[in-house]
A and B are shown apart, each in its own frame.
Chain A
């Protein structure tokens, strides 16, 4: 695949003409102020676009988590008692600030994570704003309940905040996943301490700069540093009332164990190996629907495959396999690689050297297992400032569902393709995985779509679509993909606790004593 050499439409942060102002060094955001890490140490933050450092961020210690928890606890009573009118207004103002700074945040996010600017402009940033608006609306419409137990006894049910929560954000959508987690926490009346992922510590600080005068001090706190020290200190703290995590399974299990030790709730989203099922009738006509289905397969390359719900297993009915794959590979071959700040670019670098090496190693594992490389399968090399970035070619492997490349999340632009005979076979293969986060079904037969949608054991089954993440559609895992749901008002259940005030209006004693 050729390097795209069109002019760059957006300048990188800190450069002349860039919408993003860049400081050489950033601090933790604690109590509404910028607070240096107590140990005085900083890490260089690399851009995956170039592989070079562009700013410093705190290398915090558990002491800094304590400072953030102090600030959050100092703010919790006032925030928890804020009227819903005011609370929703704050969430809406955050959304307005995101929207006003749409381009700035999109460029920052692209430089931080490597995702193409066309994705950050069209998806990450507008969705982040919308999730705040959604929870602003949802919390206004919430109400408790009154149950008449008998004519003199009434149970009043109130939704009360949990207090202070800990939230650990993944590197694949640094701003959007932060919005997914922060918005319902704040809507529920909680204060939060956020630990960004180590490869992506900075773009959320650009968001914090925008909202420092909007959100009362201590309601949102951001502490950067190594997961093994500060993430662990946060997740295991006695001073949080709930922990939310997106990441891999062992850390997820550890977080659930800490939550068990402290007897607090946890929600975890731990990834998947999502099947994307194409029935033969998608090729019944060469029309708009077929074009949409082809794009549906290529969506595995969205965000360079660094998506928990990446449709990384394509199951194609054997009767159309050759004809379908001819067209699909043509589409994959047309993916434009290049500078992610170029609006034409469709795939940018993996987030880190470590992720790039993992992708490479899985493609090798696939080859060793006998999978056939249909396209890609190598690092992509770019000249100039991109030379040190972490680029990989969009890759398609053909093999069998028993292979490791069909069973483990690669988290890169690597699609594993196999065939199925009939609907029962498709369902069996789709469910033959330890994960159950997402799935896709493509067919013109809506009865079959309905059966498959109910039959697939996953928290989200996209039907004749994929990779839509609207607020008000729940998201979360079956099986090993985690516990809990996000992006829906049911999430307020995860971020509030129920108070029952049971009142007797009867003046008479029970008569027991």
Chain B
């Protein structure tokens, strides 16, 4: 399987900090209201992936999943996990660091200096 997900440098640093504090983590791409569209970072043992989750790849040893129907409806996009300042309101772990992860497209990231996908 070719990986459909990468992460920016700042996102990888945040993932490392979260792993140091919580152990292994995983991402689940969210949808819907409020913080929908964000990738949620959870402890890996907190929510086991279900039969309808698609593994997109790994970033910084963290697996990234998306719901299969959501994946189809989003057109099976390539995602770049990035991070931005400010806590989201969801249960995603990086809120405690006053950060929130963002799913971006490779084109949008490439257009943004200093955030080269890795």
**B33 pairs with A247, CB closer than 8 A:** yes
CA distance A308 to B67 in the complex (A): 20
Scan A353-391; emit 1 where CB is below 8 A from any B CB, else 0. 110011001101100110000000000000000000000
Which residues of B sit under 8 angstroms from A198, Cβ to Cβ? 87-89, 95
The residue in B35, B37, B42 that gathers the most chain A C-beta atoms within 10 A of its C-beta is B35
Q: Evaluate contact between A480 and B88: CB separation under 8 angstroms.
A: no
Which parts of A275-312 form the interface with B (CB within 8 Å)? 308
Which chain B residues lie closer than 8 Å to A357 at the CB level? 84, 102
Shortest distance from the beta carbon of B108 to any chain A beta carbon, whole Å: 6
Question: Smallest CB-CB separation from A269: which chain B residue?
Answer: B33
Per the 8 Å Cβ criterion, residues 184-220 of A in contact with B are 197-199
- B-chain residues with CB within 8 Å of residue A249 when the two chains form the complex: 30-32, 36, 67, 70
Interface contact B89-A199, CB-CB below 8 Å: yes
Query: In whole Å, how far is B64's beta carbon from the nearest beta carbon of chain A?
Result: 12
B39 nearest CB across to chain A (Å): 9
Query: What are 22 sample pairs from A and B whose C-beta atoms fall under 8 A apart?
Result: A170-B34, A198-B88, A226-B96, A229-B96, A231-B91, A246-B33, A247-B35, A248-B31, A249-B30, A250-B31, A250-B42, A251-B40, A253-B47, A354-B86, A403-B75, A404-B75, A408-B31, A408-B37, A409-B33, A411-B33, A411-B34, A480-B32
Interface flags, B17-44, vs A, CB<8A=1, else 0: 0000000000011111111111010100
Considering the complex, give the chain A residue whose CB is closest to the CB of B88.
A354
Whether the pair B73, A407 counts as a contact (CB closer than 8 A) is yes
Establish whether residues A197 and B47, one from each chain, have CB atoms under 8 Å apart when the complex forms: no
Q: How far is the CB of A438 from chain B (nearest CB, A)?
A: 11
Q: Are A365 and B105 in contact (CB under 8 A)?
A: yes
Interface centre among A199, A249, A368, A409 (most CB of B within 10 A): A249
Q: How far is A354 from B77 in the complex, measured between Cα atoms in Å?
A: 21
Q: Chain A residues near B102: list those with CB within 8 A.
A: 354, 357-358, 361
What are the 3 tightest A-B residue pairs by CB atom distance, in nearest-first order?
A: A271-B33, A271-B32, A250-B30
Q: A402–B74 Cα gap in the complex (Å)?
A: 8
Q: Which of A231, A257, A353, A481 contacts B86 (CB 8 A)?
A: A353
Given the known interface contacts A228-B95, A247-B90, A407-B73, the answer about A272 and B34 at a Cβ–Cβ threshold of 8 Å is no
A270 at the binding interface (Cβ < 8 Å):
yes
Tell me the residues in window 144-203 of chain A with beta carbons closer than 8 Å to chain B beta carbons: 170-172, 197-199
Q: In whole angstroms, how far apart are the Cα atoms of A5 and B45 in the complex?
A: 53
Cα distance A480–B32 in the bound complex, in angstroms: 9
Judge whether A392 is part of the interface by a CB distance below 8 angstroms: no
Bound CA–CA A368/B108 (angstroms) = 10
Residues of B within 8 A of A358 (CB): 37-38, 102
B31 proximity list for chain A (CB < 8 A): 248-250, 271, 408-409, 434, 480
In the complex, what distance in Å separates the CA atom of A7 from the CA atom of B38? Answer: 38
Q: Taking the complex as formed, is A227 at the interface, i.e. its CB lies under 8 A from any CB of chain B? A: yes
Residues of A within 8 A of B91 (CB): 227-228, 231-232, 235, 251, 254
A475 at the interface (CB under 8 A from B): no
Q: Among B38, B74, B85, which residue has its beta carbon within 8 angstroms of that of A248?
A: B38
Q: Mark B44-85, 1 if CB is under 8 A from A, else 0.
A: 001100000000000000000001011001110100000011
Residue of A nearest to B73 (CB): A407
Cross-chain contact B84 with A227 (CB below 8 angstroms) = no
Check: A221 CB closer than 8 A to any chain B CB. Answer: no
CB-based contact B37/A247 at 8 Å:
no
Nearest-neighbour CB distance to chain B for A37, whole angstroms, equals 14
Asked if B107 is an interface residue, CB under 8 A from chain A, the answer is yes
Complex-state Cα separation, A354 to B89, whole angstroms: 10
Which chain B positions have C-beta within 8 A of A252?
32
Contact indicator per residue, chain A 223-251, by CB within 8 Å of chain B (1) or not (0): 00011110110010000000000111111
Instruction: Assess whether A197 is in contact with B34, with CB atoms less than 8 Å apart.
Output: yes
Select one of A247, A403, A404, A433 contacting B34, CB under 8 A: A247
A362 vs B36: C-alpha distance when bound (angstroms): 12
Complex CA–CA separation, A248 to B105 (angstroms) = 20
A270, A368, A434: the one contacting B73 at CB < 8 Å is A434
Q: A227-B88, A248-B90 are in contact. Are A272 and B105 (CB under 8 A)?
A: no
Smallest CB separation, B23 vs chain A (Å): 15
Assembly CA distance A485 to B115 (angstroms): 43
Interface contacts beyond A229-B95, A369-B75: sample of 16 additional A-B pairs, CB < 8 Å, sorted by A:
A198-B95, A227-B89, A228-B90, A232-B91, A246-B34, A247-B89, A248-B38, A250-B28, A254-B47, A270-B33, A353-B85, A354-B86, A408-B70, A408-B73, A435-B32, A480-B31
Bound CA–CA A308/B10 (angstroms): 31
> B93 near A: Cβ within 8 Å?
yes
Interface 0/1 of B94-107, CB less than 8 Å to A: 11100010101101
Q: How far is the CB of B95 from chain A (nearest CB, A)?
A: 4
B6 interface residue (CB < 8 Å to A): no
User: Are B104 and A361 within 8 A (Cβ)?
Assistant: yes
